[in-house]
Amino acid sequence: MAGQDARAALALEAHICATPYELLKALREGRIALPAADAS
């Protein structure tokens, strides 16, 4: 079970590290847009 836990932890860490980069890539490619900030 320890090996499986370690693999799961590494997979989660990799996902957490990759998420900001994937979001920035999607923003640059126009696949997603951030909601407009209310300037009032």
Determine the average pLDDT of the residues in 7-12: 94
CB 34 within 8 A of CB 27: yes
The reported pLDDT for the residue numbered 13 is 94
Cβ atoms within 10 Å, residue 11: 10
The reported pLDDT for the residue numbered 35 is 87
The reported pLDDT for the residue numbered 39 is 61
The three-point CA angle 3-10-13 to 5° equals 155
pLDDT at 36 over 90: no
Helix (H) or strand (E) holding 33: none
Question: pTM to 2 decimals?
Answer: 0.55
